Amino acid sequence: MLYIVSNKKYISGEREPKQTSLTILRLQKLHLENSFVYHTNLTENDALFLVSSGSIESENEIIESGNIIYVPKYSGFNFLATKPTELFEIVFNYSEKFILSSKKSYVIKSPLDTQELFNQIYRNHSFYDNLPGVNEGLLLNILNTLNILCNSYSGELALYQKCHEWIEQNVFRPITAEYTAEAMGCTVAHLNRTVKKYSNKCLSKMIAEARISAIKQFIKFSNSSSQDIAQKLGFESAELLRKFFKYHTGVSLKEYKKQYFNT
């Protein structure tokens, strides 16, 4: 039987020959003590883990509650509970290649309604008169939501990478946040949110850091004067260059030169 999600109701119907299958193989809630080490080998199945409370550490990354970890087929998942933690684990088989599939796990910030679907699946699992297709329908709803989120993340990541490359290529020009956003074809607010999401810094700071790095390169690998550097980087004067450098580094251009060449 195939259960189709329709306005949050689950309708049974005959499976068409070409339709894909989705089957839950294991469903459990894990209560982990602090410092508990978890290890699993997933050979032929995908899995989702929802950190519903506490936090875990995996591959040197702390994953707080509210996040879903998608573990693709043919990979394992190891982590350390950094505090008392509750996890939902769903191991499933999907005959169609899952869009999220890759060689590494994904960590996805889960919407509250998606987190509630995990609870609903688990509640259903405790009653034997519930048909398994209902839970599979709920899981399909979760997978669809995660796919939408990952597609959104992919677009944002591509924008961030494009922005970063553009700034590096145009670092010798007096670029601003507004000018950069215009080049990216989006608003300053949207670009700033995207940059902050992937770098934990605002767009203006990323531009400033790139220009500071360019100034340092001139100092280290050329005999250019402050006036020459100012002209090459689009500053109106050497004085503005010196003020810019002091503001963003906390040391004067002269002090930096002295520190570098004395080391």
Question: What tens digit of pLDDT does each residue of 203-259 get?
Answer: 999 999 999 999 998 888 888 889 999 998 889 999 999 999 999 999 998 888 888
The burial of 109, by beta-carbon neighbours within 10 Å (0-12 exposed, 13-18 middle, 19 or more buried), is given as exposed
Cα–Cα distance between 251 and 190 in angstroms, integer? 32
Q: Is 79 a residue whose pLDDT tops 70? A: yes
pLDDT band at 148; cut points 50, 70, 90: confident
**What's the whole-number mean pLDDT along residues 102-106?**
54
Output the average pLDDT for the chain: 81
Residue 11 has pLDDT above 60, yes or no: no
- CA-based angle 107:104:28, to the nearest 5? 60
Mean predicted confidence (pLDDT) in 59-86? 86
Considering only 15-29, 41-55, 64-78, which range has the smallest mean pLDDT?
15-29
Candidate ranges 28-37, 123-132, 194-203; pick with highest mean pLDDT: 28-37
Calculate the alpha carbon distances from 107 to 120, 166, 229 in Å.
21, 28, 43
| Confidence band, pLDDT 50/70/90 cuts, at residue 179 | very high
d(CA 230, CA 236): 7
Where do you find CATH 2.60.120.280 in the chain?
Answer: 2-153
In Å, how far are 63, 102, 104 from 47, measured between CA atoms?
16, 13, 12
User: What CATH class does 2-153 carry?
Assistant: mainly beta
C-beta separation of 1 from 132 below 8 A: no
pTM of the model: 0.56
Q: What one-character DSSP code corresponds to residue 14?
A: P
Instruction: Identify the CA nearest to 160 among candidates 197, 109, 208, 188.
Output: 197
Confidence of residue 105 (pLDDT cuts 50, 70, 90): low
Residue ranges of the chain assigned to CATH 1.10.10.60: 170-263
- Calculate Rg over the CA atoms of the chain: 26
Q: What backbone torsions phi and psi does residue 41 show, to the nearest 5 degrees?
A: -115, 115
CATH class in words for 170-263: mainly alpha
Dihedral, CA atoms, 171, 173, 174, 178, nearest 10 degrees?
Answer: -80
Q: What is the pLDDT of residues 21-41, one digit of tens each?
A: 788 888 899 999 999 998 877
